[in-house]
Amino acid sequence: MDSATTATQTKKAEDASASRESLTITDNRSGKSYEIPIKNGAIRAMDLRQIKVDPAEFGMMSYDPAYNNTASCISKITFIDGDAGILRYRGYPIEDLAEKSTYLETAYLLLHGELPTAAQLKEWTYSVTHHTFIHESIKKFLDGFHYDAHPMGMMISTIAALSTFYHDAKDIFDAESRRKQTYRLVGKMPTIAAFSYRHTLGMPFVYPDNELSYPGNFLNMLFRTTEAKYRPNPTLEHALDVLFILHADHEQNCSTNTIRGVGSSHVDPYSATAAAIAALYGPLHGGANEEVLHMLLEIGTVQKVPEFIKRVKAGEVKLMGFGHRVYKHYDPRARIIKKVAYEVFELMGKNPLLEIALECERIALEDEYFIKRKLYPNVDFYTGLIYQSMGFPISMFPVLFAIPRTSGWIAQWQEMLLDPEQKIARPRQIYLGHDTRQYVPMDQRG
């Protein structure tokens, strides 16, 4: 074989290997190479396990605290491109859904994969609406909470308590049972949220009105007093519906990862949803909208914004409502929310905290600290201002996130259950604690 032929063959082999969908890893401890297949831009962590120096070793793992770079599932529900600021549910851009859809239609889309036909939407709306009542015993249960109990604490406990009422919820592999629990969860979340709110005010509970829309009925259960028939303000009803659409799902965030993880033990969906609500309650997740309001109140005036930003840059406090694990660009939901905010302010009067929020955003978007870290306003930055203008107390803000997220949680829970590759979620650890030690009797401990 002449050298020209050899060179051609080498080039062909190189081209073939360059186009192979695989990764070659060389273990420099042993000099051994491993070819690991790439599928959908990822390698399987289990393929790393074969990498070992000694056959008795456990094998290589990947270490990824907080799952910064680990895909835990294959999903067909929500797509986010964090660099481009794109969010789509089942392929439909969030902007289109916010403009043209309703929350119940969007919830159907998330849960069923397709937009409903007129007949399907009618049936779905009827079923959700006819599952809005809660058992009278739940009212007694709610009465047990202190008047100043946080509504998220009440939501977590009450949703968990639903599992004690619906024993059929344990049949998680029965499609009919899942359908029933979905109606109940989507239908009862607003009722429990509204009852929790009324309880804190010491006001009588208002029962659901089946003639109203999903957000309209929620406003009825929250705010109705002596009217024979509550008529929600159309601007507020629409604003709430849009906010519900924007909050319906957000792929593998902390609370969704929680419902998938807890649900992977095959517990009933009420217990799993209670766990998801608990995850959402944290100030780094759905509790951030509440924190934003406290922060704006603490800043107090536009003049004090630069001083506050200085504290943020010094690492003393966070600018709540800014930053996101996935979005390294303006959160597309925040853009839509800003528009809704102005519609609500036109009706209810401008929220005096708006100027402070706008000044925080203006300074942050021009400041090197925020630019370098790609910190932009997220969904929670403006929602609190809208909720406050609509008359919600600050503690209700995370509840307003939990209600619509229920459809996303259940869609993700169901996808996890029906995925033959999924098993009980059980990560590995790297143990760096003590090796075996001799037990030290009490009188010998220093």
Contacts with ligand CMC by CB under 6 A lie at 250, 253, 284-286, 288, 312, 318-325, 373, 375, 378-380
Residue 43, both tokens: 């390698």
Say if residue 357 is exposed, middle or buried (CB neighbours under 10 Å; 0-12, 13-18, 19+).
buried
Report yes or no: 86 and 332 within 8 Å, Cβ to Cβ.
Answer: yes
Query: Contact, 45 vs 70, CB < 8 A?
Result: yes
Name the minimum Å distance from CB 319 to ligand CMC.
4
Catalytic annotation present for 238: no
Candidates 131, 247, 250, 324; catalytic one = 324
Shortest distance (Å) from residue 345 CB to ligand CMC: 22
CB of 297 to ligand CMC, least distance (A): 16
Write down the catalytic residue from 380, 419, 435, 443: 380
Nearer CB in complex with ligand CMC: 124/401: 401
Nearer to ligand CMC, 116 or 408 (CB): 408
In the complex with ligand CMC, the residue whose CB is nearer, 68 or 444, is 68
Q: What is the closest distance, in whole angstroms, from the C-beta atom of residue 222 to ligand CMC in the complex?
A: 23
Contact between 270 and 159 under an 8 Å Cβ cutoff? The reply is: yes
What tokens does 166 get? 């619906």
Looking at residue 404, the DSSP 8-state letter turns out to be H
Alpha-carbon 166 to chain mean position:
25
Q: What is the DSSP string of 74-137?
A: --SSEEEETTTTEEEETTEEHHHHHHH--HHHHHHHHHHSSPPPHHHHHHHHHHHHTT----HH
Q: Which of 135, 209, 285, 329 is catalytic?
A: 285
Give whichever of 139 and 373 is closer to ligand CMC, judged by the CB atom: 373
Closest distance of CB 54 from ligand CMC, Å: 36
Of 151 and 377, CB closest to ligand CMC: 377
The torsion of the CA quartet 353, 358, 363, 366, rounded to 10 degrees, works out to 160
Residue showing the smallest CB distance to ligand CMC in the complex: 323
Q: Is 167 a catalytic residue?
A: no
Catalytic residues, which ones?
A: 285, 324, 380
